[in-house]
Amino acid sequence: MDATTGVLIDGVWLFDYLASVVWTALRVGGFFMVAPIIGTRSLPTRVRMIFVLALSTVLAPLADPPPLLSLNAASVLTLLTEMAIGIALGFTLRVAFEAAAVAGEMVAQGMALAFAQLADPLRGAATSGVVGLWFYIAFALLFFAFDGHLAMIDLLVQSYRSLPIGAPLVDPVQLASGAPQFFARALLVGVSIALPLMMAMMVVNLAFGVLGRAAPALNPIAVGLPAALASGMLLMSVLIAQLKEPARALFDAAFAAALDLTR
């Protein structure tokens, strides 16, 4: 084999590999577009693009894309399917973090901090409650402590093994059958996290309400609001040590539900 033939063969291999990277980037890009923490405005778009291209380059040999080179209906359908799969996987993981935000919003009602709003790039919203953002950051730190970022990469690898590019999807009803159960579980975890603080803050507010009726000269708002805020902050400092196991169980359920979407 002469040098010209070798260069030609290498060029063909390179273009095939670039095509594989592009096909892989569709699912990976859809995943990073809505994934928790990484798929938010807190991370610049260029950095996300670098992550997508770097990860797609590594996963391309595992993806085994179909040889769809022409612009036809099958190629367009496969393209949309790959993006939809990535978005579904990322959104499932994001629901677990929204459970933390819901818990924070519920706690904020009893702490008189429901009106306190702050710019929230982590959730992709304009503003969010301060307490909800605190819970969201706590879950984010636990997520990285549990090596959740590595589990996300493993989730993408498992998705390509169970559902290769171009493979026909299962029945959509069967595909989404586990999603309502996980959403209900995420809401239940959020309520269970917030419930102890809600009950404690209700007792504090009731105590100051009774005190205001017993001593009308005492202003319950001037005394009760600082006391509720101080009690809430103290209870949140105690709760942070108890978030580990509920967060771990919720993350495990989120990854299991996301993996079920590709089976």
In 10 A of CB 234, how many CB atoms? Answer: 11
In the chain, % of residues over pLDDT 70? 77
Q: Check whether 215 has a pLDDT greater than 70.
A: no
Could you tell me whether strands 125-129 and 117-120 are parallel, antiparallel, or unpaired per DSSP bridges? Answer: antiparallel
Q: Check whether 148 has a pLDDT greater than 60.
A: yes
d(C-alpha 205, C-alpha 224), whole Å:
7
Q: Where are the domains of the chain?
A: 3-260
46-102 tens-digit pLDDT? 888 888 898 988 888 877 666 555 667 777 888 888 888 898 898 889 888 888 888
Tokens (6 digits) for 54: 């770097």
Q: Are 79 and 66 in contact (CB under 8 A)?
A: no
The arithmetic mean of pLDDT across residues 138-150, rounded, is 89
pLDDT of residue 137: 85
Rg (CA), the chain: 24
Average pLDDT, the chain: 78
pLDDT of residue 33: 87
5-53 tens-digit pLDDT? 544 456 666 777 787 888 888 889 999 988 888 877 777 788 888 888 9
- When mean pLDDT is compared across 65-74, 98-107, 209-218, the lowest value belongs to 65-74
pLDDT of residue 47: 86
With a CB cutoff of 8 Å and minimum separation 6, the contacts of 176 are: 261
* Total-model pTM: 0.80
Tokens (6 digits) for 181: 């159960």
Residue bearing tokens 């917030």: 194
Q: Are 38 and 122 in contact (CB under 8 A)?
A: no
For the ranges 51-65, 69-83, 143-157, 185-199, the maximum mean pLDDT occurs at 143-157
